[in-house]
Amino acid sequence: MPIETSWVVVTGAAGALGMPIVQRMAAQGRKVLALDRVAVASDEFAQSETFLSRRVDLTDAAAFEETLTDSIPKREPIGLLVCAAGLIWNEPVLTLKGRTLAAHDMESWQNVINANLTTAFVAGSHVAARMARTGGGAIVNFSSIAAAGNAGQPAYSAAKAGIEGLSKAMAQELGPLGIRVNAIAPGFMDVATTRDAVSDDRLQEYKRRTPLRQLGTLDDLMTAIDTLEHSTFVTGTVMHLDGGLRL
């Protein structure tokens, strides 16, 4: 499918990773549909026939399908879906409160699962149905280095491990339809959400432990997405974008 004729759909488009992805795709002349539960503000790009931003609850399958249908005519192909929606959350399984051990809050657990995993399933399943009718495409999900298990982040780790399992299952099912599904597992990226979740001292320690002695950049991320979009014999893989930290 020629890239210039197909749409790019980005979820979590208002986020620290989603917004730069949207901006760079649009700057390349791609047709972009930017989706998030909050307003997607981009000063560089006004709403047009080739750049659309929509507010939608990404966990609501019916609302997602309605937004997709209203935004992109069914005859127009979607070539790439990037599922960048997510929520980093730090909360241990047990927390000592006074002399009592309190279990992980269930509302926050469900919020983290919904934000990271349910959003990818909803978007992936509905966009895949469109891709199957218009010649296939590529789906890129966002996992994390935490998918291997990270103390203090049980909900986030579980959600990201789920992303990797979901991506592999979808790759097996959707491959015969011409749809490739892969995941990127970033390590510590130099973006606002990382700095909000991790203290500067800890980030410096992670940099020292990383063989490449640096944080990841948005350029690294865009290169990874571009590779997974265009490598037509790659599916069901998890690309570890972590500078070698997991070695």
The CA distance from 234 to 227, in Å, is 9
Give the up-direction half-sphere exposure of residue 190: CA atoms within 13 A in the CB hemisphere: 11
Active-site positions read 156
The CA distance from 174 to 156, in Å, is 26
* Virtual torsion, Cα 205, 206, 208, 213, nearest 10 deg: -150
Which residue, among 84, 172, 67, has the nearest Cα to 130 in the 3D structure? 67
- By three-state DSSP, how is residue 109 classified? helix
DSSP conformation class of 13? T
